[in-house]
A = this chain, B = another copy of it.
Amino acid sequence: MSRVVQHLRPPYFAVVFTNVRNSGTVGETGDDGYEAMAGRMVELAARQPGFLGIESVRDAAGVGITVSYWESEEAILGWRRNGEHLEAQRKGRERWYQSFRLRVCRVEREYGMGEAAGGPGR
């Protein structure tokens, strides 16, 4: 999967999930099941109706940003209510994250490397 989601067609929706892990041992053994869960959640989200793509980065200090893209707010709600995802959300609050913030956004416009940024009205 490409690390940068390309060329979607606004308007659509984004969930920006910024978080700090509880331990610094990201990706090592002793991560309390975190990496396995994270991989599983990407797999599951990709099967969810209305899923458009996901971008995810974590640094050595344990700070992560994951942005998932969705066709509609209903699709986001469907994913939030997925059973395995609910369990992951619970463990996230109880054990995995020191802090997080989740923002639901409507994507208004976008551009990439080879494209003009567009004028003031865009």
Contacts and interface: CB of A to CB of B under 8 A. Distances in A.
Contact of A105 (B57, B100, B108): B108
Interface string A24-39: 0000000000000000
Given A93-B113, A104-B110, A105-B108, A4 B16 contact: no
Interface in A54-77: 55-61, 63-65, 67, 73, 77
Contact of A107 (B18, B104, B117): B104
A contact face: mostly helix, strand, loop, or mixed: strand
Interface string A80-122: 1000000000000100010111111111111111000100100
Contact of A6 (B65, B101, B113): B101
Interface residues of A, number: 43
Given A20-B4, A58-B57, A97-B113, A103 B14 contact: yes
Interface string A1-23: 00111100010001010111000
A110 B106 contact: no
Interface of A: 3-6, 10, 14, 16, 18-20, 55-61, 63-65, 67, 73, 77, 80, 93, 97, 99-113, 117, 120
